[in-house]
Amino acid sequence: MEEIDEEVLQLFIEESREHLNGIEDDLLAMEAMETLDAELVNRVFRALHTIKGGAGFFDFNKLRDLAHAMENVLDLIRNDELTVTSAIISSLFSGADTLAKMVDLPQTSEDRDIGDLLVTFNDIVSRVEQDEPDPDPTDASNPDLILDDAVDAAPDTQNRNSQSTLSPTSSGLAVQELELSADALKVDGAVSDKDGGPSCGGENAESEAKRTVVDQSIRVQLSLLDRLMALAGELVLTRNALLEGVGQGDVKALIPTSKKVDAITSHLQKAIMSTRMQTIDIVFNRFRRVVRDLSQQLGKKIRLEISGQDVELDKNIIEALGDPLTHLIRNAVDHGFETPSDRTLAGKPAEGVLSIAARHEAGQVVIEISDDGAGIDPNKIAEKAVDKGIYSAEEIGRMSEKDITRLIFDPGFSTASEVTDISGRGVGMDVVRQNLATVGGVADVESVKGAGTVVSIKLPLTLAIIPSVLVGISEETFAIPQVNVVEMVSVSPEEVQRRIQRVGNLTVLRLRGQLLPLIELIDHLKIQGKYSEPNTGQWREERRRLLYDRRCFAEEGDQEVFDPRSGQERREHPQSVINIVVVSTGSSKYGIRVDELHESAEIVVKPLGVHFKNSSEFAGATILGDGRVALILNAEGISGFIETTESDRAMLEGEQESETSHSIDTVKLLIIENAPTEIYAIPLNLVARIEKFHFKHLQVVGGGHAISYRGGILPLFSLEGTISSVKPQWLASECFYAIVFAVGDREVGLMVAGIRDVVDFGENIDHKTHRRKGVGGSLVLDHTIVELLDIYGVLEIHNPEFIRHLNGDFASDECLRILLVDDSPYYREQMAAELRSGGYDVVVAEDGLQALEVLNANKDICLVITDIEMPRMDGLEMVRRVRSDAAYTNLPIIAVTVLSAQEAEKRGYSAGVNDYQVKLDRQGLLAACRKWARPLPAEWNPPEITVHE
């Protein structure tokens, strides 16, 4: 072949690709058309004609021949000499596919074997030419017959013949293609498994080549280019002003100019980014074809519904989406949907609905692929997982159905060789997840057996700029993409021993009853004190001790946990806390220990070179404000550092359980100071606000202090004279703090000298030693004894009338019996006292099992108040047991927690809890009692609840 002008060739390739993309849609429309739409057929004809012309110009003979053969068929259709059948459309599709492949790699197109296709098309044409067009006018005019998609629907023998010869070829082709891409995905999965990281996309060499072709150019709206031009012009003007300003040395004059630069830069950035944005319909549209071909081949009836195709995403992401989405769609059609007869049996419409929807959600794009098929049977998944030895039956037993369904994303699971066994999804879900992860996407699945499956994918809008959290580890700065960051936790030195522990070979963080693996990147990324001295350019290598030793820090439990070698910042702050960033990848959640938490920032992603192609640890690099380079951590890749062995996992699970069953609720305490020697704690959840007032506004009203506040009067009381004899030492002579509590529908303020701290306290509160009216107990904090205030008690001492007034309507109630269940003696005593003061008769139990016994023994209990986290049997389980007995369905149950956690509430309500209250919120609790506690009917005689040990 003679030398071809590259540029012209490129133009030809791009133009042909566009035509071919259009052909696909038009062919689908042709299949659906009821009467001949000449314009539609003409469009396809013209497209093929153009390709033929171009191919002829470049001497791509086979390309030209194929386009010509297809053109002939279309010519017949256009002249109404040939009736469109599914079979013909299918062959045209495979012709168009082959054309597309040839166009992508025109240089090799001559080597491609297109003999079969040419024969197919020529057969169609010659048959029509020999036998003359179908003489039967009804056939051509009857839409039903034209629309036929079954082989025997056409009465015409010629047509039937042509179909029976064509169908095997075309469907054979489709099958081949399907297998090919499934293989490609599998191979890709294997490779990336080996490398321990996701690879860029699941396709064979051919489609990779296609991608490079696609990458060459992009269509941009002219108006957008105009806008870019305008911005560039503005930038030039501003630069001139800046240069002039710098020349004059007038800093003040520079300020507006620099602001302008700032504004133009961000406008430019936005405009340039938008040139990269493409609508997602580019990807979505090809699924019409996929669904059509596959459902026809499998004999299923599926309607495809697409919505949100206008959603825009970065070009890179759009391109990377094609393969995983195609896989999901194929999976849904192949395994998700039942056959029409099965559907009818199941009482569903024969036609299934597959919907693909894209939408914006909180700065991300969410794509949902949902079907109304058979759904995923968690039991089968569980069975499979146990069979494959991925999880033990015991571990599975502890998982929720949702988590079991999610196992299909598990690497070990989805490389299963049996594709279709599991109702629902088989091979390659792991690869789908990995492919999505390369573009920052996270996949999740939800399924209801018999009703359908929804796979949802969350994607960032763009890859070029990502919001991230910057952290410092040793001397390095790393960026963690915000999408992965769940929360940041700092563990104070005194908490290290309790919260960071070693389980087997893993270091774990205790976080609200969960154990999360902790990753020390210094160990894994070989972060060394290797740096070049700025002045001399000399290389220095600090010989630092590896951090493996630090893993014992939980045992040592002292400041030695901080690696002595890691430099100054630690030595400067020997008391420093351990900072942990908790990240989630969708499939796993873990903590990364960091030295410093810097700001969060929008970072510009720069690619890393060839040497990092196969490393999964980094997603790229970015340049910080000061010019230094920071690496972007790939949360998915980093999670590979967690090497859990079977025994570790078992231990982790075991620990997790023991943790939840023995956990003591932590409570946030506000530490206040009356005098330097007198420190008190107040449960923070009782505090409405903290205010600072000037003494000169203090007024004496009716023997007590008060202050006018928020348009009303805030009565004030102080600890002096109620529970303390020490005169408060006001820190600032003119000001005092008032801690505002809500009591009933009113507010009161406690005057305190100073606010010390807010702490999480999880240890036992001594409820005996210092207990007296106004003091609920005591605790030890930093070696100091701190008394825990019982605010209502203090108030009662201060002004008994006040409390009596609040509880007034109680006294008349008849004495109702309440069962109070809590494992913490402090809370139990405290709440029991509150309830008794509210006029109730209280019986107590320490855990769920005991509660059931007490409930059996006391038939007159009319309300249960229970803690959730308890040893032996927790509150939820207890509630379920009680509720499982029909006689107790109406027994009101109130759950109490230290803080209101919505998730916990949800679980509680589903277990059968009637109400949620915060512990120590006396008024709330009493109000709830008033609402729920009702005298039992006289004939009431509840049966025994069986207690299983």
Partner 1 sequence: MNDTRSSADFGDTEIIAFKVGDTVAGLAINQVREILKPPEITSVYSRYEYVVGVINLRGNIVTTIDLYKSLGIPGENCAGHIVLVEFQNEHLGLLVDKIEDSIAGQSENFLPVPDDVYGANGHFFNALYKRENDLISMLNLKAVLLGE
Per CB under 8 A, residues contacting partner 1 are 476, 524-528, 530-532, 534, 537-539, 606-612, 614-615, 617-618, 621, 623, 627-631
| Nearest residue (CB) to partner 1, 157 versus 212 | 212
How many other β-carbons are positioned within 10 Å of the β-carbon of residue 5?
9
- List CB contacts of 866: < 8 A, sequence separation 6 or more: 819, 820, 821, 822, 848, 851, 875, 878, 879, 893, 894, 895, 896
CB of 620 to partner 1, least distance (A): 8
| Nearest residue (CB) to partner 1, 160 versus 544 | 544
Asked whether 564 and 474 are in contact (CB, 8 A), the reply is: no
Decide: helix, strand or coil at residue 107: helix
Q: HSE (CB half, 13 Å, CA atoms) of 567?
A: 14
| Nearest residue (CB) to partner 1, 245 versus 637 | 637
CB of 529 to partner 1, least distance (A): 9
CB of 623 to partner 1, least distance (A): 5
574 phi/psi in degrees, rounded to 5: -60, -20
Report CA dihedral (34, 40, 46, 47) to the nearest 10 degrees: -100
| Nearest residue (CB) to partner 1, 377 versus 636 | 636
| Nearest residue (CB) to partner 1, 417 versus 538 | 538
CB of 191 to partner 1, least distance (A): 16
| Nearest residue (CB) to partner 1, 410 versus 520 | 520
Rounded distance between C-alpha atoms, residue 553 and residue 390, angstroms = 32
| Nearest residue (CB) to partner 1, 162 versus 622 | 622
410 phi/psi in degrees, rounded to 5: -70, 130
CB of 239 to partner 1, least distance (A): 17
CB of 621 to partner 1, least distance (A): 5
Asked whether 826 and 777 are in contact (CB, 8 A), the reply is: yes
Q: HSE (CB half, 13 Å, CA atoms) of 512?
A: 9
Rounded distance between C-alpha atoms, residue 213 and residue 205, angstroms = 13
Asked whether 271 and 287 are in contact (CB, 8 A), the reply is: no
| Nearest residue (CB) to partner 1, 371 versus 617 | 617
| Nearest residue (CB) to partner 1, 236 versus 604 | 604
Rounded distance between C-alpha atoms, residue 685 and residue 924, angstroms = 12
| Nearest residue (CB) to partner 1, 631 versus 896 | 631
- DSSP alpha helix (H) spans, 346-400: 378-387, 393-398
Query: Which of 802, 800, 813 lies closest to 840, judged by CA?
Result: 813
CB of 165 to partner 1, least distance (A): 49
| Nearest residue (CB) to partner 1, 168 versus 627 | 627
Which residue's entry shows tokens 């007024």? Answer: 699
CB of 606 to partner 1, least distance (A): 5
| Nearest residue (CB) to partner 1, 521 versus 879 | 521
Decide: helix, strand or coil at residue 370: strand
CB of 489 to partner 1, least distance (A): 25
Integer-rounded Cα radius of gyration of the chain = 36
CB of 407 to partner 1, least distance (A): 30
Which residue's entry shows tokens 């058979």? Answer: 374
| Nearest residue (CB) to partner 1, 6 versus 144 | 6
To which H or E segment does residue 110 belong?
none
Asked whether 89 and 77 are in contact (CB, 8 A), the reply is: no
CB of 516 to partner 1, least distance (A): 23
Rounded distance between C-alpha atoms, residue 660 and residue 907, angstroms = 15
How far CA 550 is from CA of 177, 495, 521, 662, in Å, comes to: 54, 16, 13, 27
Q: HSE (CB half, 13 Å, CA atoms) of 52?
A: 14
CB of 644 to partner 1, least distance (A): 21
Structure-block tokens of residue 226: 């105009």
CB of 197 to partner 1, least distance (A): 11
Query: Which of 196, 179, 214 lies closest to 17, judged by CA?
Result: 214
| Nearest residue (CB) to partner 1, 554 versus 631 | 631
| Nearest residue (CB) to partner 1, 281 versus 523 | 523
Rounded distance between C-alpha atoms, residue 176 and residue 169, angstroms = 10
Asked whether 594 and 516 are in contact (CB, 8 A), the reply is: no
> Which residues are registered as beta bridge partners of 706?
699, 715
CB of 640 to partner 1, least distance (A): 13
Rounded distance between C-alpha atoms, residue 476 and residue 487, angstroms = 21
CB of 525 to partner 1, least distance (A): 4
